Structure 1
Amino acid sequence: MRRVLTVMILAALFIPISASVLSYAEEYVPRELKGYMTNIAHRGAFAYAPENTMSAFYKAIEMGADYIEFDVQMSKDGIPVIIHDSTLNRTTNGNGYISDYTLKQLKSLDAGSWYGKEYVGETIPTLDEFLVEYGGKVNILIELKYPELYPGIEEKVAIALREFNLVQYDSHEVIIQSFNHESLKLSKELLPEIPHAVLVSKDWRKITIHQLEEIATFADYFNPSLNMVTSELVELVHHTNMSMYAYTVRNPSEAGRLYSLGVDGIISDFPDYAKLVVK
């Protein structure tokens, strides 16, 4: 019943949302601006399924996302797992820190019922499970989440990607990002073939060209909070030969504004927004 009501509500909202997106794009996007805005599904299709689950990833592909973004941490026994928070409380029926649980214990938890009854029984995926299902079939943006809590996580991710033959020069099928720039440097040393992206928050509003040039020595993408994006920042990032994926888009007007400013892509809970704006 809840699923039916959700579908009815979304159906009722679809027309005004689409109109808002198109109206905003027509008003703000310069006519001469032609191109494509990469569409990254944040934690999968988070707006439509429980985040960082196989259901969310499947939904993102179904909706035509260009990339699936997800967060990697590690279990107590050193297995890379896909989950956002450092604790289990919000998105599972468990409590406490992920690092205190073995993989077997983590897999016994329910990671879907908090979102809806139809997702009861969803489990926390491992990185390997994701790569078995989707490796080489969809572009992925991997965030090293809280790597300071998990010594060696960079190497574990590198090993997994190599085992699945996903490490190739001049390919953007896999991108690794992190707020921890020292961790990102280490990952880049381990995987020089793969593009890397620095994540930054609004605290970096006053970033200089010199700082960007330094970042460009180990990163290929500069991914900022959407609130700090200006046309000047986009220009500076592009000047240093980096691309920009802004996060986290949760309404159509944000998507339209970012498109008008020239970002290369958006990381969004709604994989349908980017395509609507570009159209």
Structure 2
Amino acid sequence: MNKKLLAGSGLAFTLLFSPLSQAFAAETIGDLRKVDNVAHRGASAYAPENTIAAYDKAVEMKADYIEIDVQRSKDGELVLIHDTTDGSGKVGDFTFEELRSLDAGSWKGAQFASEQIPTFDEILDRYHGKIGILIELKAPELYPGIEESVAEEIKERNLEKPQNEKIIIQSFNHESMEKMNDLVPKVPIGVLTSSRADTTEQALQEFSTYADYFNPSYGIVTKELVNQVHYLDMKIGLWTVRSQKAADFLLDMGVDAIITDYPDYVDPRN
């Protein structure tokens, strides 16, 4: 992994995005680049998000990664949930037992009524070595110390080692990702954003000092942005794809990962 601030970057950026260099980049970046197919909260178009059913479906559909949302219960258990169960309220206000009793699946169909909120350690044990895991820390500012807890679970399974780079950690909280980079420096780090303010030359250079992935909303991606991210030795993953048109657009852009509810839109084997 290469997390560094490039010297002379201002001049380098100027040269990089001259007409000549743009033409060169168009020839060398894109067509042959492997695109990672990331199942957003599992194959969530086909099974209830952040459940075993959705993750198993992603494996069945040959996705490269599952993306999971990690939060923490009132009594300290790391759980996987975004916001969809039959309950209401803040995750951190409920004990693990209370969260586990919620129905996490029947909203998607009666066949999923038995689905429960999974725990982080359950998912690591069930899927590591079988499929990549993209770990999103969901609002880590609400859970002081969650970074250390996540790092501990990863280290207990020796997943912080470089030969196991099918683990990636990301968040919209960029300070949290700087902290994760310190805790598990060999694990790839991603920064999430939907803000164009984070796509400036200065912002991207700062991200490149600790992050390996720049993961923006696909609505703000441009070919120039893809080239900028690659120039800074980062990869770029886009979210959340819910149409074949969007998937095809990003494939043409030469991105490194597509985060999607529909893994079959990215991988024609499905």
TM-score interval (norm. to shorter): 0.7 to 0.9
Distance 2:50 2:72 in 1: 14
1:90-110: CA deviations, max 9, x gaps? x21222111111111111111
Q: Of 184, 190, 193, which aligns to 1:191?
A: 184
Distance 1:206 1:223 in 2: 10
Task: Name the % identity.
Answer: 52
* Partner secondary structure for residue 54 of structure 2: helix
Contact 1:205 1:228 in 2 (8 A): no
Give the Å deviation of 1:171.
4.2
Give the Å deviation of 1:33.
2.0
Q: With structure 2 as the length reference, what TM-score do the two structures score?
A: 0.86
How many positions carry a matched residue from both structures?
243
| Residue matched to 2:105 | 112
* Partner secondary structure for residue 129 of structure 1: helix
Distance 2:204 2:33 in 1: 25
| Aligned positions of 1:8-87 closer than 5 A | 33-85=31-83
Question: Aligned partner of 1:220: which letter?
Answer: D
Question: Aligned partner of 1:232: which letter?
Answer: E
| Aligned positions of 1:99-138 closer than 5 A | 99-138=92-131
| Residue matched to 2:87 | 94
| Residue matched to 2:209 | 217
| Residue matched to 1:177 | 170
Give the Å deviation of 1:170.
5.6
Structure 2 residue 226 is matched with structure 1 residue 234:
yes
Q: With structure 1 as the length reference, what TM-score do the two structures score?
A: 0.83
| Residue matched to 2:20 | none
Q: 1:43 to 1:206 in 2, by over 3 A?
A: closer
Q: 1:170 to 1:232 in 2, by over 3 A?
A: farther
| Residue matched to 2:16 | none
- Provide the aligned C-alpha RMSD in A: 1.9
Give the Å deviation of 1:63.
0.2
* Partner secondary structure for residue 263 of structure 2: coil
Contact 1:146 1:180 in 2 (8 A): yes
Question: Aligned partner of 2:199: which letter?
Answer: I
| Aligned positions of 1:148-159 closer than 5 A | 148-159=141-152
